[in-house]
Structure 1
């Protein structure tokens, strides 16, 4: 409390009397310096003016109590005024508990009646407010191990690091104007065996240590949204029903010639492609896309070089969430109205539909018939 009181007034001295054990109800006695020029400039006919007093004596009494009521406040006031000495100019009661209005009023009325000019009661809230002032940050750290300035500097450093990571991601996968469909490999660098599945015991296809995703556009701040799965969808003309072929996920890039990640039956997926583009009406062709969000803080490194097995970019990230790499996932239905967008490219007139508002029903034939590509000329 004595260190906290240093900035309260301009002290000539601040004495820790409470350490002696015989403090006469005063733990700290301070003598406040009063500017001599101000004393001389004011007429002595106004002795009640604060700025004409001589050097002022203050008593500070500290009570380590869990509760402190009016009766205790009056006892403190009485103890500080015993001995017949002249009452101090000011008095401060400090206690690390809540002080009610009745307690504060009782202390103030008793001390003012005895001639004390200024009375302060510092309860828990008052002390907390004082400790959180920038000039008292060193005390907050010394006694409680908390530094708001250090925390603030840490927050700035964290934000700068996140912004640098965000720029790195933008450069690797696409900036805000990106409207394509860019394959991105997400990998857990702590798992040995990459890129060979057979070298990873119990390779989990639901939560794999590496997987192909696709970047489409930036959405939520501080996250990277990636398409985890992408299936052909048939959406009825009245937009009330839909069907999905979820046996094939069209996320992995076709140009990749050394696939070491799981994918669907190649023959079935090729048959689905041909049927989808030849038999499904153009205005009813759509995609069911499952998005997953990776926090930027979970991205350890952005590899824009790739390797001999998988082309860049690679996102190296932690994998300790409920959905593996992703904090949460969500399904979206996307309908290309004219049906002529390039494989997954975001068409200017595409339409997004809420999966929960449509009913899933059988629209695709089972099995998918083997049709040939129709002439495009």
Structure 2
């Protein structure tokens, strides 16, 4: 009971102390909250920076290993190429040496062999002497034949002249022109006239008609007629002559590219537009204003609606973007397996930085 009385006496003091303590707590609460936020942000920043430094070190290790692998791979490829080029140069040099030795041997043995060439020249000299002797004998033979032919021609001329002048032969009563009484011996022509037979007129005309008795010593000998060509069909898959001539001289048939103009398509389109405007096909554009035809749609022009025609200028954008094709619901598929360390990236962050 005494304790309760003492407490009641100190109630005002307790209330004042309680009020003062709550007032001090309210005054320090904001400072403590700001201090706590600073401490938390500093600790979290240290953790994030430490984690980023850790990731940077691991990324450097990965880049170092990958770049080392790429460098070694490139070095191996370069070394392999250089080794291949070195081998090819060595092989080419060895091949050149082999070819040089073989060509030198071949030239010395077969092309510029001294003994073989000397033997060949010696045989060539002997062969030339033989050919020269044969040519001399042939020229002498041709000269004898020519002299003999000339003598025969002169003899034939004299005999023909003697036959032609047979009327100048001497008789028992009257001496001839070539049998002069003042000569000891008669002339040579007189003897020819005695041996020759006179030419008759019929035989002379016959010889002129047939070409005999004419001096042809300086003309080519008559040639025999050429035998007729055998018209038997040649064996083989040959076409008929008329068919070949028809194909060779067939009339000109120009192609569509040559027969038509270059601007035939554009001209046809312009003509089609003029024909469409001339026939008043565009009157259907006023049909929707009518109550009866308000549900009807205007029929598009064939020139603009056909899929085989070219769209006119201005109906299509030159840089048309289809963004619906750039958005997809599928996640990015990685080709390589993921690194376990990278899967944890961002999971330790708070939602304050909107990283998670």
Q: TM-score, normalised by structure 1?
A: 0.14
Please state which structure has a larger fraction of its residues in helix: 2
Please state which structure has a larger fraction of its residues in strand: 1
Structure number with larger C-alpha Rg: 2
Q: TM-score, normalised by structure 2?
A: 0.15
